[in-house]
DNA sequence: CGAGTCGGACTTTCAAACTA
DNA sequence: AGTTTGAAAGTCCGACTCGG
């Protein structure tokens, strides 16, 4: 639908759900690179070094079932600080051959079916509607699942954990056997569901890509693994990568602190940049070459667009959902890949507000010798029965000029005359604010917006902020004021979905206050 | 310099609201 | 019954402080 562009990344996520096994690798790199730069080979990997690492990575610790080993018995490779940063990531991951297999099997079986596990991979995302129907109902919490897609997509391991919780399993180790299939099943379902909602075009693209990938990437690895994208193959991805490359290279790489003296920008975007070093600024062509040279299926583990979902941050190629859009909208806005989060951080990481990973013990805990206490944190149960104000609907994308849509969120439609936009809406201070930014900033400059919103008194904000109840008061006040959320708009662009709306909208204001507190409450 | 702390940006989850 | 919305709940970045 509208969000198709957004979806890309997500699709990838989903597709890679299984990839997660692989992606975790990437995922771990992040922390390593970033937080533990010293340990790793420093962010500034050269291609050569990168290659080596990857190779080593693969050779030495392809996939052990370490997760099982767990406590204490980590293999050396597991330990951060070794030169095998990537490896750590890799090994740190759950990848257990069995689990992986099961995982895949589960997918293929439950997912929209695909004869081979490999296909299973690709299929889920594309299986859309058919599957979705099956899906959404019945799993854990109730009705929905649209969002699950997000979750499921990112990390299989995570999924497991998460789902375990949801299913009441409780324990973190992700179990394989029957369990895995079960979890995955749901995961798949969600994914599919999600896809339904949002993407469609991209799905096709990616689907194709996946196929290619599979075809190309068979080098002696179990098909399932390949399928899962466990070992990404560079060549297949290249074209896709190129799509994503530009934004990153142009913007991120260039601006990365590592490579430039550019002072840390206030924007969070910088964060993502940290990963850039893996691939110094290159032209598209160069980049492509690079991957070709690397050639090995593993070479691009982190960088493969497919994996990127999870690994987005780490990979230099991370197709963020927004990237495409950004590019289109405003190259100058190019941005950081979307930050990926684990579904459930361990208690230690949570407490420290540091990045966690799916592994248990997680990399960080291993590093700090907290393996004993590295367990999933418990999540609150969302309260039910909270009333919400009426939702605004976005006008169909078609109404909005495609051109304008791509470049501008077209807030105006909604705001001004949109079905959802009350007349009074424009008068709101917010709109004034928004209007300038909406054009391109909104989607990507959430941080900027955040600042703005923080500085600006929206009127309704005050009342709402204090409310605990969450959105309820907020909503009602809005209604009273006849106020429409700022960004509800008809933005048809790709994926700006969550953040733009969430942030700028009520969420931002109300949310930020609430949010900021949340962690503290929990953590402290 | 590494570890701990923390504000808050950002992401994900998921129930309510909405639509077909 | 399926989809969309959007706030709650959560993750974790990055700045800061502190101790060795």
- In the structure, what pLDDT confidence band is assigned to residue A354 with cuts at 50, 70 and 90? very high
How many CA atoms within 13 Å lie on the side-chain side of A237?
33
Residue A329: the pLDDT is: 41
Tell me how crowded residue A387 is: count the other CB atoms within 10 A of its CB: 9
How confident is the model at residue A349, as a pLDDT? 92
Asked if pLDDT for residue A387 goes beyond 80, the answer is yes
- CA A11 – CA A4 distance, rounded (Å): 9
| Structure-model confidence comparison of residues A424 and A383, the more confident one | A383
Distance A306 CA to B10 C1' (A): 22
Percent of chain A with pLDDT over 90: 2
pLDDT tens across A427-469, in order? 333 333 333 333 333 333 333 333 333 333 333 333 333 333 3
Asked if the peptide bond before residue A499 counts as cis, ω within 30 degrees of 0, the response is: no
Query: At A358, is the pLDDT very low, low, confident or very high (cuts 50, 70, 90)?
Result: confident
**Is A11's CB less than 7 Å from nucleic acid strand B?**
no
**pLDDT-above-70 percentage for chain A:** 11
| Span A276-332, pLDDT tens digits | 333 333 334 443 443 333 333 333 333 333 333 333 333 333 333 333 333 344 444
A82: phi then psi, degrees, rounded to nearest 5:
-70, 170
Q: CA A264, C1' B2: Å apart?
A: 21
Find the mean pLDDT for residues A393-405: 48
- In this model, does residue A106 exceed pLDDT 70? no
Chain A 249-308 residues in 7 Å CB range of strand B: 267-269
Distance CA A500, CA A213 (A): 32
pLDDT > 80? residue A365? yes
Q: Residue A394 — pLDDT band, cuts 50, 70, 90? A: low
Segment A336-360 shows an average pLDDT of 87
Q: Which residue's CA shows the smallest distance to C1' of B6?
A: A520
- At residue A124, the pLDDT reads 32
Look over chain A and give the mean of its residue pLDDT values, rounded to a whole number.
40
What pLDDT does residue A388 have? Answer: 83
Taking only the tens place, the pLDDT of each residue in A6-57 is: 333 333 333 333 333 333 333 333 333 333 333 333 333 333 333 333 333 3
Does A43 contact strand B, using a CB cutoff of 7 Å?
no
pLDDT band at A356 (very low <50, low <70, confident <90, very high): very high
Which nucleotide is closest to the Cα of A519 by its C1'?
Answer: C10
Is pLDDT at A63 greater than 80 in this prediction?
Answer: no
Q: Is the pLDDT of residue A363 over 80?
A: yes
Q: Is the pLDDT of residue A390 over 70?
A: yes
The distance (Å) linking the CA of A162 with the C1' of C15 is 31
A509: Cβ contacts below 8 Å, ≥ 6 apart: A453, A458, A460, A461, A464, A465, A474
Stated as kind and residue range, the H or E segment containing A53 is: helix A47-60
Nucleotide nearest A3 (Cα, C1'): C4
A349 versus A490: which is more confidently predicted?
Answer: A349
Give the residue with greater pLDDT, A356 vs A249: A356
A491: left (phi over 0), alpha (psi -120 to 50) or beta: beta
Q: Sketch the domain layout of chain A as residue ranges.
A: 404-523
pLDDT at A285: 42
The DSSP annotation for A87-105 comes to HHHHHHS---HHHHHHHHH
Predicted confidence at residue A369, as pLDDT, reads 86
């Amino acid at each position: 639908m509208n969000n198709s562009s957004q979806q890309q990344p997500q699709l990838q996520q989903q597709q890679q759900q299984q990839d997660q096994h692989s992606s975790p690798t990437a995922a771990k790199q992040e922390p390593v690179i970033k937080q533990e730069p010293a340990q790793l080979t420093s962010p500034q990997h050269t291609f050569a070094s990168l290659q080596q690492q990857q190779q080593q990575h693969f050779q030495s610790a392809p996939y052990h079932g370490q997760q099982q080993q767990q406590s204490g018995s980590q293999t050396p490779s597991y330990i951060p600080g070794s030169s095998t940063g990537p490896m750590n990531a890799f090994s740190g991951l759950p990848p257990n051959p069995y689990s992986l297999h099961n995982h895949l099997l589960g997918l293929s079986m439950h997912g929209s079916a695909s004869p081979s596990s490999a296909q299973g991979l690709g299929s889920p995302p594309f299986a859309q509607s058919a599957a979705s129907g099956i899906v959404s109902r019945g799993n854990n919490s109730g009705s929905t699942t649209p969002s699950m897609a997000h979750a499921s997509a990112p990390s299989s391991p995570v999924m497991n954990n998460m789902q375990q919780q949801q299913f009441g399993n409780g324990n973190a180790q992700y179990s394989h056997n029957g369990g895995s299939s079960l979890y995955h099943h749901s995961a798949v379902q969600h994914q599919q569901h999600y896809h339904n909602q949002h993407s469609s075009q991209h799905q096709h693209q990616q689907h194709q890509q996946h196929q290619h990938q599979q075809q190309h990437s068979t080098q002696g690895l179990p098909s399932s693994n390949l399928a899962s994208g466990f070992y990404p193959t560079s060549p297949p991805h290249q074209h896709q990568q190129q799509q994503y490359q530009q934004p990153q290279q142009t913007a991120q790489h260039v601006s990365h602190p590592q490579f430039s003296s550019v002072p840390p920008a206030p924007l969070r975007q910088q964060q993502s940049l940290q990963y850039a070093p893996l691939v110094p600024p290159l032209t598209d062509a160069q980049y492509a070459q690079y991957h070709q040279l690397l050639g090995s299926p593993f070479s691009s583990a982190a960088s493969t667009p497919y994996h990127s979902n999870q690994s987005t941050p780490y990979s230099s190629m991370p197709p963020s959902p927004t990237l495409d859009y950004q590019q289109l909208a405003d190259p100058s806005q190019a941005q950081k890949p979307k930050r990926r989060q684990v579904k459930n951080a361990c208690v230690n990481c949570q407490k420290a507000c540091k990045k966690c990973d799916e592994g248990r013990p997680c990399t960080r805990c291993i590093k700090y010798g907290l393996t004993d206490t590295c367990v999933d944190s418990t999540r609150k149960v969302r309260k039910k029965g909270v009333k919400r104000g009426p939702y605004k609907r976005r006008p169909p994308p078609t109404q909005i000029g495609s051109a304008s849509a791509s470049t501008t969120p077209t807030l105006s439609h909604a705001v001004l005359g949109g079905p959802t936009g009350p007349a009074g809406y424009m008068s709101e201070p917010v709109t004034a604010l928004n209007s300038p930014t909406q054009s391109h900033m909104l989607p990507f400059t959430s941080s900027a917006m955040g600042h703005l919103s923080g500085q600006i008194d929206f009127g309704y904000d005050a009342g709402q902020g204090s409310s605990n109840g969450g959105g309820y008061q907020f909503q009602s006040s809005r209604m009273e004021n006849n106020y429409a959320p700022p960004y509800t708009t008809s933005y048809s662009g790709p994926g700006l979905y969550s953040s733009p709306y969430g942030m700028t909208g009520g969420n931002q204001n109300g949310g930020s206050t609430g949010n900021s507190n949340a962690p503290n409450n929990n953590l402290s």
